[in-house]
Structure 1
Amino acid sequence: MKYKKAQDVLPQYMIEDLQKYIEGGYLYIPKKEENKKSWGENTSTKDELNKRNKEIAKKHKNGKTIEELADEYYLTGYSIRRIIKKVDL
């Protein structure tokens, strides 16, 4: 999140009204509900994790053990099991 100076984006009368409630403090203004994006929507992270998870499930189906996959992907055995259970092949 990037901070912006109120005087750069708001008219003076609005700044004066806001100062009555929170002078000198920080104020977070949330996005409108229709403008919110889900996690990973702005980057390729979500797609990359889905691809990785399918790869893990496929390797397990082809005979790799939970422990081998955990070592290969630097994850816990619990995480590998959760991924395998979640991914549909």
Structure 2
Amino acid sequence: MKYINAEEVLPRELLYQIQQYIQGNLIYIPKYDNREKWGEKTGAKRIMFERNNQIISMYENGYNIKEISKKYYLSEHTIRKIINKSR
């Protein structure tokens, strides 16, 4: 990675604002990432969120972990993780 003098690339006003927080030290500016997060484009994230809420609701309504795991074709360990994460 090559270091660049901020005075050469940043507008003077922005440089002044940055100097209010840090002066004379190195600062890393991460690459801008405008990609969508996992599952947002396809709706998979929303579907899993809804499924997990149904699992939690079933558990709170008296279903045991074994019954829930059979209904959703998930391991009992996975069902426990979903339930514990909600607490």
TM-score (structure 2 length as normaliser): 0.60
Which has the bigger relative contact order, CA under 8 A and spacing at least 6? 1
* Secondary structure in structure 1 of the residue aligned to 2:33: helix
Structure 2: stretches of 5+ with no match in the other structure: 1-30
> Percent identity of the aligned residues?
39
Q: Partner residue of 1:71?
A: 70
Cα RMSD, aligned residues only: 1.4
Contact 1:53 1:87 in 2 (8 A): no
* Secondary structure in structure 2 of the residue aligned to 1:33: coil
Structure 1: stretches of 5+ with no match in the other structure: 1-31
Q: Partner residue of 2:82?
A: 83
TM-score (structure 1 length as normaliser): 0.59
Number of equivalenced pairs: 57
* Secondary structure in structure 2 of the residue aligned to 1:37: coil
CA drift at 1:80: 0.2
Q: Could you tell me which amino acid in structure 2 is paired with residue 81 of structure 1?
A: R
Contact 2:56 2:82 in 1 (8 A): yes
Q: Partner residue of 2:59?
A: 60
Matches within 5 A, 1:6-85: 33-85=32-84
Contact 2:39 2:45 in 1 (8 A): yes
**Greater helix proportion:** 1
Q: Could you tell me which amino acid in structure 1 is paired with residue 32 of structure 2?
A: E
